[in-house]
Amino acid sequence: MAQVLEFKLPDLGEGLTEAEIVRWLVQVGDVVTIDQPVVEVETAKAMVEVPCPYGGVVTARFGEEGTELPVGAPLLTVAVGSTASDGEGGGSGNVLVGYGTSEAPTRRRRVRPAPPVAPEAPAAAAPPVVPAAVVAPVPAVHAEGPVPVISPLVRRLAREGGVDLRCLAGSGPDGLILRADVEKALRAQTAPAPTGQALTASTPPAAAPTHSSVRNGIRTPLKGIRGAVADKLSRSRREIPDATCWVDADATELMRARAAMNAAGGTKISLLSLLARICTAALARFPELNSYVDADAREVVQLDQVHLGFAAQTERGLVVPVVRDAHARDAESLTAEFARLTEAARTGTLTPGDLTGGTFTLNNYGVFGVDGSTPIINHPEAAMLGVGRIVPKPWVHEGELAVRQVVQLSLTFDHRVCDGGTAGGFLRYVADCVEQPTVLLRTL
């Protein structure tokens, strides 16, 4: 006889207390194997596929997509027994920490989105008049398969705007629903009716929008990753007395050095990895900036290892993945790790462990085409190095005016951990390494 076991939302680690259901991966009646992912959830740290520790038949699911559940709340129930379970009624015994288990099967049922179904022939009766600006729903476009939308941001935007994703035909590859598709539907919902539209005698003309209705706008709850970012930045501003210093540097020689390294063959070295290598060398000389303040003990805690965070903009918002033991890595290893974490950020597969534990942050905002910035420190760290775009500018080089590749470097630091002399020394050393990469040889 089958035994029904309840699987609850497990502790996802890193102090997280709740998660939002983004996408169910199984249906009621499906047979699941031990440690098979059954639901995709979004926490304040990352997107996580939650594996079920039981094998059997899914008998119930708790919570619709978009619902927030606290840790410990029921997720689903599984009928476990000799006829229903691949594991003879057993379970993995593993407690989820957000990433699945080491020897678990990772099979999951993937259903391709159904192709759009052609509308049926119209009935004999004339259909009611519909304003041209309103987007007519596409009947049963996604009735036979999951809605083809990947981004949680798109799902949230549709949910808050009252847009039924099942009635949208996506403009992306294979019918993928994009943010632009949802925004178009939202605009269509609020568009005025055509001037020539007939009004019945009992229908009064639409009143002009009031001032209060114009101010309502689209409300986006500060939760999930957006809420976590808001909380962390607010706390940083409240607690950290930060200051910023900056300097322009001639990056021509650094760019030449990178080109020479890549021309020699082997792994292509990224510019970010060279800047990271410079950061770790500078922190070895100025370790005060690789620290944090223990406010309760009123102590500055200086750290031995450099876990380097770097800012990455994704569709879900700003995230800061962390390269572990960056001080012990060479340029090739740093390049590989930056590439791995960046790809995971883009696909939403970063784990909570990938996003925590940083001791210093490198922020390359030059990719946005800007020269400078005064960023907010990633609490509880003590400093952040900012790098602007590298552009040709007039520069005095060896006593003569020349066009050189110039970059602006900025350092935002916690004034509790050091004074301006230390911060200035750190930034000047970074600039010297950018201008003359051979300076790094002295620290190898």
Provide the greatest CA pair distance for the chain: 89
Instruction: Based on the residue annotation, tell me whether 415 is a catalytic residue of this protein.
Output: yes
Query: DSSP code of 264?
Result: T
Q: What is the C-alpha separation between 370 and 364, in angstroms, rounded?
A: 10
Q: What is the C-alpha separation between 352 and 14, in angstroms, rounded?
A: 7
Choose, from 231, 414, 419, 432, the residue flagged as catalytic.
419
Instruction: Based on the residue annotation, tell me whether 211 is a catalytic residue of this protein.
Output: no
Q: Which two tokens stand for residue 221?
A: 């709850």
Choose, from 164, 325, 330, 415, the residue flagged as catalytic.
415
Q: What is the C-alpha separation between 428 and 179, in angstroms, rounded?
A: 43
Q: Give the CATH class of 1-112.
A: mainly beta
Which residues does 428 contact at the CB level (< 8 Å), separation at least 6? 247
At the topology level of CATH, where does 241-443 sit? Chloramphenicol Acetyltransferase (3.30.559)
Instruction: Spell out the per-residue pLDDT of the chain, length 444, in tens.
Output: 679 999 998 877 655 678 888 889 999 999 999 889 999 888 766 778 888 989 999 999 998 888 888 888 999 999 997 444 444 445 554 444 433 443 333 434 444 444 444 444 444 444 444 443 334 344 334 444 455 655 556 776 777 778 887 788 888 766 778 777 888 888 787 665 554 444 444 444 444 444 444 567 888 888 777 777 788 889 999 999 999 999 999 999 999 999 999 998 888 999 999 999 999 999 999 999 999 999 999 999 999 999 999 988 887 778 899 999 999 999 999 999 999 999 998 888 888 889 889 999 999 999 889 999 988 999 999 999 999 999 999 999 999 999 999 999 999 999 999 999 999 999 999 999 999 998 887 655
Give residue limits of the domains in the chain: 1-112, 241-443
